[in-house]
């Protein structure tokens, strides 16, 4: 998929993304549940199950936003730590986990020090993917697991058509009504930042992971990458 020329890149993108999430933070969870028909909750739960980590494992949630993944990890009796660069999102959070305002491309964590990492709906918001995968690999212990959840486009032509109508026409209108017009026009477009899944798998592999798996969640609007550090 070609990148929309109107979409920002590099430092400009990071600045815009941070400002946008600061702005939409107070209503983020509410709007998210409506837009995904609460499927996002189920997808996060499946991601935590897919990690197959023991209770008591220390798991970092990268680009944690309001901490939905932290809550899910707490329910599974793991020990989550959340990292996000938007103070607005961190302040709107509801989890009781420790949170840090940090850039996930440069984590304040020692190497090989955590058991797992999750990242929800943020790959497309990062300025670069390879440095992110390298950073996750640096901080995970050998054998440590990751689960990266993000949006996807259904492969079935009919579902893809419906998906585009929903995300390109309905999401921006509902978002404008409930929250912020420019943010909810940007978010559907930001899907075009994501390379094809085969490229993502190759990047993850080159960063130093093995047993990489990609699972698509019905109706093909979300995808989960899992694997472990070599």
Ligand X SMILES: C[S@@+](CC[C@H](N)C(=O)[O-])C[C@H]1O[C@@H](n2cnc3c(N)ncnc32)[C@H](O)[C@@H]1O
By CB under 6 A, is residue 152 in contact with ligand X?
A: no
86 in contact with ligand X (CB under 6 A): yes
Measured from each CB, the residue nearest to ligand X is 65
Q: How far is the CB of 126 from ligand X (least distance, A)?
A: 5
**Quick one: tokens of 225?**
């990458």
From 92-100, 116-124, 135-143, 218-226, give the range in contact with ligand X by CB under 6 A.
116-124
Q: Which of 53, 65, 188, 227 binds ligand X (CB under 6 A)?
A: 65
Residue 84 interacts with ligand X (CB under 6 A)? yes
CA-to-CA distance for 221 and 149, rounded, in angstroms?
A: 11
d(CA 93, CA 26): 9
Cβ 190 to ligand X, closest distance in Å? Answer: 9
Residue 123 found at the interface with ligand X (CB under 6 A): no
The only residue of 47, 57, 95, 125 in contact with ligand X, by rule CB under 6 A? 125
Q: Which stretch binds ligand X (CB under 6 A): 65-73, 177-185, 210-218, 220-228?
A: 65-73
- Both tokens assigned to 165: 């109508």
Residue 34 contacts ligand X per CB under 6 A: no
If one asks whether residue 74 binds ligand X (CB under 6 A), the answer comes out as: no
72 binds ligand X (CB under 6 A): no
Q: How far is the CB of 201 from ligand X (least distance, A)?
A: 21
Strand order in the sheet with 58-62: 99-101, 79-84, 58-62, 114-120, 140-151, 222-229, 209-217
Answer for which of 24, 59, 99, 122 binds ligand X (CB under 6 A) is 122
Q: Where does this chain touch ligand X (CB under 6 A) — which range of 78-86, 107-115, 154-162, 199-207?
A: 78-86
């Amino acid at each position: 998929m070609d990148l929309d020329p109107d979409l920002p890149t590099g430092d400009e993108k990071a600045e815009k993304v941070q400002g946008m999430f600061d702005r939409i933070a107070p209503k983020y969870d509410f709007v998210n549940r409506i837009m995904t028909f609460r499927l996002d909750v189920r997808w996060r739960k499946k991601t935590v199950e897919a990690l197959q980590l023991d209770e008591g494992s220390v798991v970092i949630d990268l680009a944690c936003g309001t901490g939905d993944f932290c809550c899910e990890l707490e329910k599974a009796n793991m020990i989550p730590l959340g990292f996000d660069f938007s103070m607005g999102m961190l302040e709107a959070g509801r989890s009781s986990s420790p949170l840090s305002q940090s850039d996930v491309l440069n984590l304040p964590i020692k190497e090989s020090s955590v058991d797992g990492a999750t990242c929800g709906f943020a790959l497309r918001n990062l300025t670069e993917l390879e440095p992110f995968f390298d950073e996750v690999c640096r901080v995970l212990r050998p054998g440590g697991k990751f689960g990266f959840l993000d949006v996807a486009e259904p492969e079935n032509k009919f579902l893809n058509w419906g998906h585009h109508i929903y995300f390109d026409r309905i999401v921006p209108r509902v978002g404008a009504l409930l929250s912020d017009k420019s943010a909810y026009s940007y978010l559907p477009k930001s899907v075009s930042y994501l390379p094809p899944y085969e490229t993502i798998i190759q990047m993850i592999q080159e960063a130093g992971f093995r047993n990489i798996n990609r699972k698509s969640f019905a109706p093909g609007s979300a995808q989960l990458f899992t694997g472990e550090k070599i």
